[in-house]
Each structure stands twice: as structure tokens, then as C-alpha cells.
């Protein structure tokens, strides 16, 4: 199955997620707030990647920078999630599911950034 993506739809989905996460940060308990803030940063970075893809004349180096930032934030979310499992806020099963979903998202972001950069990242 070839990889295809509607950039404007993905940007709109990111906007909805940003709105929902902003609401969640204000309502979450202290332990979950840091994870939600990190997820919000991930979504904003994803949105930047999609927006950059709409501008084919932009600086190609931005894709390497954005992908590196996205990976850094993903690593932090793994740590934060693991900490929440340790204190019993989320179950280990939900954490493992999150990690699996995150790997799929990582591959999607890697492909998008590779398309923008013009070679594999």
C-alpha cells in the first residue's frame, strides 16, 4: 500500500488535537500535565512538518531539524509514560499500546520528512 496523505486534512486534525490538548492541560492533575504538554509539543511539531511540506520552495534542512525535534519529544513521552506506569496512573498495557502507536507515527513522520528533504532520513 503506497503512502499517501492529505496535508490540509492532517493540519486540520492537528489543530483540533492542539485545541483538545490545551483544554486537557488545564484540567489534568499534576502528574498528567507534563505528559499532555509534551504531547502538545509533538502535535505542534507534526503540524509544522505538514505545513513545511505545503511549501516545496522552503529550506530542505528544516525537515532534519523538525524530525530530530519530533524524535526528542517522542523519547521524552516514553519516559513520562513509563513514570506514570510506575506510580500507577496508567496501566502497563496502555503504555505498551502507546509505544506501538508511536512507532507507527514515527515511521509516518520519517517518510514525510524524507519526502521534504529529498532523501531518506
Q: Domains of the chain: which residue ranges?
A: 7-117
What CA dihedral angle connects 43, 44, 45 and 47, to 10 degrees?
90
Mean per-residue pLDDT of the chain: 88
Query: Would the pLDDT of 44 be above 80?
Result: yes
pLDDT of residue 10: 87
pLDDT of residue 91: 93
For 97-114, what is each residue's pLDDT tens digit? 999 999 999 999 999 999
Is the CB of residue 94 less than 8 Å from the CB of residue 102?
A: no
pLDDT of residue 110: 93
pLDDT of residue 1: 34
For 48-64, what is each residue's pLDDT tens digit? 999 999 888 888 899 99
Amino acid at each position: 500500500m503506497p503512502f499517501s496523505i492529505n496535508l490540509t486534512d492532517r493540519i486540520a486534525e492537528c489543530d483540533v488535537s492542539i485545541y483538545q490538548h490545551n483544554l486537557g492541560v488545564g484540567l489534568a492533575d499534576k502528574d498528567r500535565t507534563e505528559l499532555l504538554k509534551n504531547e502538545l509539543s509533538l502535535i505542534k511539531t507534526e503540524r509544522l512538518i505538514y505545513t513545511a511540506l505545503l511549501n516545496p520552495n522552503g529550506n530542505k534542512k528544516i525537515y532534519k531539524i523538525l524530525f530530530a525535534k519530533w524524535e526528542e519529544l517522542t523519547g521524552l513521552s516514553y519516559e513520562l509514560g513509563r513514570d506514570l506506569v510506575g506510580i500507577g496512573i496508567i496501566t502497563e498495557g496502555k503504555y505498551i499500546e502507546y509505544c506501538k502507536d508511536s512507532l507507527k507515527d514515527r515511521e509516518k513522520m520519517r517518510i514525510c520528512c524524507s519526502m521534504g528533504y529529498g532523501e531518506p532520513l
